[in-house]
Structure 1
């Protein structure tokens, strides 16, 4: 199935919906599986011919699985730079796939919950994403998809080691379990580093919005497992699943503390952030993320009633560089993006304020 990327700009992807369990704090739950096809060398040793053959092999096998024939298949190497970054901003492909070389593709479902990346670090990366804290449902879906693909493809597998992957840390299950959380109160109360240290002691990694190598923006953090070898898929899922409720509890307590002890200062911080977003004439992506983080917390705490969480989540994505250029319909340099971003925010927030006034 073909897909018009311009159509995606007008709708919210799975992680932007603001739905699902604990969605005030948990943005999304994601599980990713790394797989390689036995008859080909690892990507780093592949020739251009090998990469093209892998891409064709996966696409041909997908066509043989009735449950997966509705996926939209795109050759990433044939997309423009803006379109590649657009998919990455929606969490549908990784930064690595954006910057890789040679034949490479992605297959996504209409709801943007399932994504299959071909020729990233491994031959195949299967990803399932759910809104909110929903790792059990994510595991159920990805396990089914993996079984369907394994019935058509011969994976590189070792009886003792498990699934063989390009990176040694993925050998075994090839599984990465991650939950994206919004933790502004822990940042404000300076407790976030203590939480990070505790997570590192139990071999959980903390990364930014776009995964490995990315910085935290807008107080978004991804918590994920670091090691897969010697553990089952269920053990890895449960390791992350069991610790996230404690982080949610810490964040809720921090928010309660701020409301009780510093409500005036907190309200001022949130109001200032909202005011800048509504009136700025030029604004960077980094500042926008920072200010939207404060506003998102304000919505959750009932201090702002013009907006929904889904609105804020949408703005987090729509104000990213590639999305802005897709919405504008043409390329923009840095200064142009900063002006366009401010214009988009003013128009969007003004319309929401007007809609709220009309309802009252």
Structure 2
């Protein structure tokens, strides 16, 4: 057996710090350092600054950095321009480095929270927020004010308290270099000597790694004769490398350092867009499955700009907007009326029934699962 190649991560911002919020980024790479809350390309706004916010015609929305930081393909840039044009308003993105953790801490300190909304909250985010606050950071959404809300597929809903409006989903899957390794078809295949030292996995402190952890938990369960921790132990004994972030893992894949990685089922859509070798970018759905991560928009309970907040929530559910976000973010829509570009039909992989844990299944369990995994990875099991 190969010696385990495990890198302890504290830089991912996922379960570090007081709040320990795990962020949902489309690439799984959340930034975990720093404390400020800036705007992206819109000046030096800060949550402690309540002056000069443009009045009722300016909407402040928080999100994760990668949603807005690449003007050529990030959805946030297009959303800002389109929203401002449609509603004759100003949209200010806020992208604090610690993402939702930043707002959890401000809420617990009694400090002002400037944004009206957070765009990109997933079930695990919601669980972490509620575990580390009194549950009052977000408020329930009045869906009667959203014309497009009735078109959300029921399978995409994950918040029993009705706070989060699901806006997109990502499907965790295995991406492999079809030129150099065979296609894995099952979880057990990844334990084969053919993949020894060939697999890269983000730490579960990163969103993508967490999705894979939950996927294995669904497959093997916990506490049995052979459970998800036993499977992970065998993966590590077979030389699987656990890295700090999805970005680190994907970089090694692109550099031909790792031929098998935990990534996303729409990888070939991304590869086709940039003219990459599609034989290298192959997607495997283990046991015909993938793990679904839903994300949505949620309103801070301190919000005051009711009109623009609801307009924005309805706007990001509009089928046209859903299609643009899906293409730029390489994710899937939640509005059933959305018509995706043809590239999705040809290159996206869709399981018949994705694996998924909702808020109620994660609540009260997530922290324990992560703690148990950390002990196992450190050699404590």
Query: TM (normalized to structure 2)?
Result: 0.26
Query: TM (normalized to structure 1)?
Result: 0.27
Higher helix proportion (structure 1 or 2):
1
